[in-house]
Structure 1
Amino acid sequence: MNIFLKELKSYRKSLTFWSIGVFLMVASGMAKYAAYSSSGQSINDLIADLPRSLKAVMGFGVVDLSKISGYYSLLYIYLLLMATIHAAMLGASIIAKEERDKTAEFLFVRPVSRNTIVAAKLLAAFTNIAIFNLVTLVSAITLIEKYNSAGEAVNGEIVLTQVGMFILQVLFLAIGSALAAVKKKPKTAPSLATGILLLTYMLSIAIDLNENIEWLKYITPFKYFEAKNLMLGSGLEPIFITLSVILTALLLVATFIFYKKRDLNS
């Protein structure tokens, strides 16, 4: 319990900054939506002539951006990137921090097993991403309600997107922690985890550009819970939930196994 509380305290400031950032992201996004709506311009008309590749990179899909639900599905892509980057970096740094800060010897001389230490750290990280997700949810519902002049019912869809986001947060948290446990130089794990995340995101864009490689959607988590499907399509698909759970479980098992075996640099 002491390790859990210590880790929560260590990442309190970081969580505060990330939470403020995601709130400002939602606020600025909805303010832009309000500005377009009040000007009488159709967002769909503004982007109609953009190249297909640019639309894919910026997240313009098949949704109606003149509706607040369609606009939020675009904004959700950037919120998802923020959430998963935060989770991946957190998962890597919380496992690697003892070696990075040269405090491993201080921690591991205590009569506590490595598995207990890793479990406490992961629980603290899980709590952090849960709070981040809750802040995102409250920010989205509150600000969309403020700018939802058409009275469109979207709260249920927003909750659904946040469920998908949370599953991916946990997955990337596990990716980060597994990398930190496996690598001989764990302090490089946060940057590597972020690199893997961005690579899978770019792959999801490539899939949008080329239908012939759609089968690759199973290896990029950013295709698992797309807003256009969650809000306007099939919702949470069991195959992607199952795949996410299996991958997360394997990565967490790897974290415990490899961290227990590694020689710690103090």
Structure 2
Amino acid sequence: MLFRREFKRNLRGLIIWSIIIAGIIFLYLGIFPSMAKQQQDMDNLMNAVPEGMQKAFGMDRLSLGTLLGFYGIEIHLMTTLLGSIYAALLASGIVAKEQNEKTAEFLLALPVSRPTIIVHKWLAAMANVLLFNAVIVAASFAGFQLAHGEDLSYKAFFLLELAVLMMHLTFAGIAFLFSAVARRTRSIVSMSLGTVFIMYFLSVAAGLSDRLSWLKYVTPFKYADSAQIITERSFHPLYAGIMAIAIAGCFLASYWYYNKKDIAV
């Protein structure tokens, strides 16, 4: 019952964000054929970009003239950044909004335990993120047909999308933890979105300067680096492990704190 309740409460947001991301994917892949015909001009344009910027956005290893390279440079940025924002917004209010909307008394009066409440809310948040990423994959496949590009490596594509999914789940987990700990929804949203943007800028900084390359171990955006995954056709096990631990750790911490939390109703 609680899972269905939470899923329905967030269904509208899922639909809106899914339409937005699918529209962006179709729009970008729709213009790929015309850009591919001007590959030499595109390569010259990319070469004119400062070397640091090329490294930061994977332009030094990917080409706009190839379908997967174009996807990794142009579309990947949108799916990672917008998807992380969606995941953070979704999870940031899923627990704390009960107090903010004065519905905690009703929820806690139901014949269900606190562990059941927090688990069902977690499952609802994860289900929304999974469906959102399924839309990304489906829209990308449909867009590839419109783009009429060369044969692409589906292995590299699926590894890239797996990394993106885990990154979205990581930000959802962090925001969920904020939601379980904090009391005011507005501050939770600010912290969650702030975390996403800070991590994004850290990933850019890690690519711009060799002296800051160590930051790639701090930000999930670098764990889902399109240039590395597409060119090497591999998703680094260390990055996958770090994100898996972060996701599990956020859930366990949320579970523990929510059961100890003094909830004013």
Instruction: Note the 1:81-100 alignment, pairs <5 A.
Output: 81-100=81-100
Would you say the 8 A contact 1:204–1:223 is kept in 2? yes
Amino acid paired to 1:93: G
What residue number does 1:258 align with? Answer: 257
The Cα offsets for residues 238-264 of structure 1, whole Å up to 9 and x where unpaired, read as: 111111111111111111111222222
Instruction: Note the 1:121-136 alignment, pairs <5 A.
Output: 121-136=121-136
Shift of 1:66: 0.9
Structure 1: give runs of 5+ residues left out of the alignment. none
What residue number does 2:142 align with? Answer: 142
Amino acid paired to 1:205: V
- Identity over the aligned pairs, expressed in percent? 27
Other structure's SS at 2:152 match: coil
Shift of 1:231: 1.4
What residue number does 1:34 align with? Answer: 33
| Residues 265, 187 of structure 1: alpha-carbon distance in 2 compared, 3 angstrom cutoff | farther
The Cα offsets for residues 161-189 of structure 1, whole Å up to 9 and x where unpaired, read as: 11111111111111001011122434421
Structure 2: give runs of 5+ residues left out of the alignment. none
1:222 and 2:221 correspond: yes
| Residues 52, 178 of structure 1: alpha-carbon distance in 2 compared, 3 angstrom cutoff | same
| Residues 124, 184 of structure 1: alpha-carbon distance in 2 compared, 3 angstrom cutoff | closer
Distance, in Å, in 2 between the alignment partners of 1:28 and 1:41 is 22
Amino acid paired to 1:69: L
What residue number does 1:208 align with? Answer: 207
| Residues 107, 113 of structure 1: alpha-carbon distance in 2 compared, 3 angstrom cutoff | same
Shift of 1:222: 0.8
Q: TM-score, normalised by structure 2?
A: 0.93
Instruction: Note the 1:79-118 alignment, pairs <5 A.
Output: 79-118=79-118
Would you say the 8 A contact 2:163–2:224 is kept in 1? yes
Other structure's SS at 1:95 match: coil
Amino acid paired to 1:148: H
Amino acid paired to 2:226: A
| Residues 254, 40 of structure 1: alpha-carbon distance in 2 compared, 3 angstrom cutoff | closer
The Cα offsets for residues 140-173 of structure 1, whole Å up to 9 and x where unpaired, read as: 1111122134x32233322111111111111111
| Residues 66, 38 of structure 1: alpha-carbon distance in 2 compared, 3 angstrom cutoff | closer
Amino acid paired to 1:66: G
Could you say what the CA RMSD is over the residues aligned between the two structures, in angstroms?
1.8
Shift of 1:51: 3.2
Shift of 1:129: 0.8
What residue number does 1:20 align with? Answer: 19
Distance, in Å, in 2 between the alignment partners of 1:83 and 1:189 is 18
What residue number does 2:77 align with? Answer: 77
Distance, in Å, in 1 between the alignment partners of 2:252 and 2:83 is 23
Deviates more, 1:23-32 or 1:182-191: 182-191
Distance, in Å, in 2 between the alignment partners of 1:193 and 1:167 is 17
Q: TM-score, normalised by structure 1?
A: 0.92
Deviates more, 1:202-211 or 1:220-229: 220-229
Number of corresponding residues = 264
| Residues 85, 46 of structure 1: alpha-carbon distance in 2 compared, 3 angstrom cutoff | same
| Residues 98, 246 of structure 1: alpha-carbon distance in 2 compared, 3 angstrom cutoff | same
Amino acid paired to 2:114: R
